[in-house]
Structure 1
Amino acid sequence: MTNSIYKKLIAELKKIIETNLQPNQKLPSERKLVQIYQVSRNTVRLALNELEQKGYIYRIHGKGTFVSSIFLNQTNLGTMYSFSDEMNLEGRTPTTKNLSLRLLIPDKNISLQLNLSEGEKVYELIRLRLANDEPLIYSKTYLPQKFFPELKIEELNKDTLYGVMEKIYKQSSVLALEDIQAVNLSAEESKILHVKNNAASLKINRRLINENNIPIEFTKALARGDKFVYRSKQYK
């Protein structure tokens, strides 16, 4: 399965849902979709999984797949591990502005998040994430110096953060722990994200754990409330 086939099927199904179907209307079966679009069963299944995560559809075991009563054309933070991958999947062009990188002794909270001893230093990376040149997420990321010695902003300007972490410093995560809460942006944060002062935002605190059960990154991010939702799914 190529990425282009997968993206094309998602776009086609989204269009049909938005323009031709009613809430709670049943979609064709996976077998029927395979016949209609001449793609593999796996491609159909992955596309439906993506649409379910985004809130366009829901499934009832033994009965089929249905159009959601309410769906929001906003990115679900709960399924977004890679900003770039998610934006590409949605047909938007992602960019990252690395605003600053500096070495410092972190405050007590950051040290606790990263299991650091007193006096251990971290790199603070401040970034702005954009899609189609529209600012969406403002973040501050903290990386322990002992795992990322001599980290340079030039490295981050040439590759993604996780690309640099894995390729240069051989650090990759196996677990991400997140807390998300609703907050209002300060005047400075609102200006950076191009929204009105005191606008609603989703604040994300994310901690990444490596294969040795050691935290290697702690990020505090602000995502625009008009562009993102946090969507969960519960079964009884």
Structure 2
Amino acid sequence: MEAVKLDNFLKVDKGIPVPLYYQIKQGILQAIQEGALKVEDMIPTEAELCEICGISRPTIRQALGELVTEGYLYRLKGKGTFVSKTKIDAKFLNKLQGFNQEMLEKGLKPSTKVINFLCVPGREDINAKMKLEATEPLFYLERIRYADDEPLVYVESYFPYRQFQMLTNVDFVQSSLYQSMRDLAQVDVTRVQRVLEAVNAKKRDEDLLGIPKGKAMVRVQTVGFTKEGRAVEYSVARYRGDRTSFSIELQV
């Protein structure tokens, strides 16, 4: 495969107070954003980029390394460096929105695989998050969420069994959890608390999501509350770091 020419995007100016590696990085990002570099395109080798830019290999290596770490590029040993698929920007930090709705708004086809949906004994740590007695049984819902048939996130959800027994026969391949709570139990989740944590992929993540063990992921813990302030759901989601990003919008 022939590398895409990037000469027009890699005009380095050594006379400005901007690090050279950063200029290279931004030039490659611009080429991706403007469509000169497309998904799966191979970029020039480090030696070729050194010749194009007239700078040292460590500087080139730093620019490429950051782009790989941030998920814009990926390397194949013995073959080269290639453009990754565009990350999906998750907006759920700014608003309470279902996965399916968010993917549809981005022009992607959402789908769900249900691995488990069953009643399990209460767990003291999880029950405490919903202020339940330690022995109170829980529903356990285990799912993989997809966008355009690509697995993006593995989700484990817990909610009180006695309060939501009417959800026993819900098909969560087709149905939203919060919508089902609203329609069948008249319980409306109006507020959530979320905690994000950077983690590394485990063997199970590799098996379920196809992300290599050790790669970056984002672990999101969520507690869902009603308007009265009652916690009715706790979930842990593990997002692929190579395919998702998260943005927060603040008003000052």
TM-score range, shorter chain: 0.5 to 0.7
User: Please, what is the CA RMSD of the aligned residues?
Assistant: 2.3
| Whole-Å separation in 2 of the counterparts to 1:203 and 1:232 | 16
Distance 1:233 1:171, change over 3 A: closer
Q: Is this contact kept in 2: 1:137–1:224, CA < 8 A?
A: yes
| 1:149-206 deviations in Å (ceiling 9; x for gaps) | 1432543244222221111111111111000010011101122001111221000000
Deviations 1:109-150 (CA, angstroms, capped at 9, x unpaired): 101111101211110000000011100010100011122014
Counterpart pick for 2:134 among 118, 137, 141: 118
Which residue pairs with 2:226 in the alignment? 210
Instruction: Work out whether 1:134 is the aligned partner of 2:146.
Output: no
Query: In the aligned structure 1, how far is the partner of 2:169 from the partner of 2:207?
Result: 24
Contact preservation (8 Å) 1:155, 1:164: no
- What is the SS of the residue equivalent to 2:182? helix
Equivalent residue, structure 2, for 1:189: 205
8 Å CA contact retained: 1:177, 1:206: yes
CA contact (8 A) 1:139 1:222 kept: yes
* Deviation larger for 86-95 or 73-82: 73-82
The yes-or-no answer on 1:102 pairing with 2:133 is no
CA displacement at 1:90 relative to structure 2: 0.7
Q: 1:120 to 1:165 in 2, by over 3 A?
A: same
Q: Which residue of 2 aligns with 1:89?
A: 105
Amino acid in structure 2 at the alignment position of 1:133: D
- Select the residue among 147, 172, 175 that pairs with 2:188: 172
SS of 2:197 mapped into structure 1: strand
The 1:166–1:228 alpha-carbon spacing in structure 2 relative to 1, beyond 3 Å, is same
Alignment TM-score, normalising by the size of structure 1? 0.65
Distance across 2 between alignment mates of 1:135 and 1:73: 13
Query: Secondary structure, in 3 states, of the residue corresponding to 1:176?
Result: strand
Partners in 1 of 2:201 and 2:124 — Cα distance? 23
Please identify, of 171-180 and 224-233, the stretch whose mean Cα deviation from structure 2 is larger.
Answer: 224-233
1:75 corresponds in structure 2 to: 89
Paired position in structure 2 for 1:229: 245
Alignment TM-score, normalising by the size of structure 2: 0.61
Total equivalences in the alignment:
169
- Give percent identity, aligned residues only: 21
Query: 1:32 — aligned with what?
Result: none
Which one has the largest radius of gyration?
Answer: 2
* 1:220 aligned onto 2:226: no
Matches within 5 A, 1:60-71: none
Question: Residue 162 of structure 2 aligns to which amino acid in structure 1?
Answer: K
In 2: Cα distance, 1:98 partner to 1:79 partner: 27
Q: Cα–Cα, structure 1 residues 182 and 212, in superposed 2: closer, same or farther, change >3 Å? A: same
Distance 1:107 1:143 in 2: 11
User: 1:141-160 residue pairs with structure 2 within 5 A?
Assistant: 141-160=157-176
Write the letter of the residue equivalent to 1:160: S
> What's the counterpart of residue 48 of structure 1?
none
Gapped regions of structure 1 (runs ≥ 5): 1-17, 21-71
Change (3 A) 1:235 1:210: closer
Label 1:174 to 1:233 Cα distance change in 2 as closer, same or farther (>3 A): closer
Amino acid at match of 2:153: I
Letter in 2 for 1:168: L
- Give 1:234 shift: 5.7
